[in-house]
Structure 1
Amino acid sequence: MQWLTLDATGASLVAKANDLLEAQRVVRKALPPVLAHGCRVANIDRQRVTLAVPGAAHATRLRQLTPTLLRALEVAGWNLTEVEIRVQAALTPTQESRPPRQVRPLDRDALACFRDLHEKVEPGPLADAIGRLLRHHG
Structure 2
Amino acid sequence: MSEPKSDPRPATAPVRALDAVMSSRSGNPLRRALWLDELDRTLRGHLPPTLAGQCRLANVDGEHLVFLVQSPLWHARLRLAENTLIDAARSIGLKVTRVTIKTASAPLRPQTPAPHNGPAAVSPTTRNGLRDALAALDDVLNPTSSKDR
TM-score (norm 1): 0.60
Change (3 A) 1:72 1:56: same
Which residue of 2 is the match for residue 68 of structure 1? 84
Counterparts of 1:42-53 in structure 2, within 5 Å, are: 42-53=58-69
The structure where helix makes up a greater share of residues is: 1
More contact order relative to length (CA 8 Å, sep ≥ 6): 1
Q: Which residue identity is paired with 2:91?
A: V
- C-alpha contact 1:41 1:50 (8 A) present in aligned 2: yes
Q: Percent identity?
A: 29
SS in 2 for 1:78: coil
Secondary structure in structure 2 of the residue aligned to 1:62: helix
Match of 2:122 in 1: none
Question: Following superposition of structure 1 onto structure 2, how do residues 1-138 of structure 1 map, counting pairs within 5 Å?
Answer: 3-4=16-17, 5-6=20-21, 7-8=24-25, 10-91=26-107
Q: Structure 1: where are the runs of 5+ without partners? A: 97-138
Query: How many residue pairs align between the two structures?
Result: 94
Q: What SS does the aligned partner of 1:89 have?
A: coil
Secondary structure of 2:59's aligned partner: strand
Which AA in structure 1 matches 2:80?
A: Q
Q: Note if contact 2:70-2:103 (Cα within 8 Å) is conserved in structure 1.
A: yes
Q: Under a length normalisation based on structure 2, what TM-score does the superposition of the two structures give?
A: 0.56
Structure 1 pair 92–17 and aligned structure 2 pair: CA distance change class (3 A)? closer
User: How far apart, CA to CA, are the structure 1 residues paired with 2:97 and 2:37?
Assistant: 19
Q: Distance in 1 between matches of 2:15 and 2:100?
A: 41
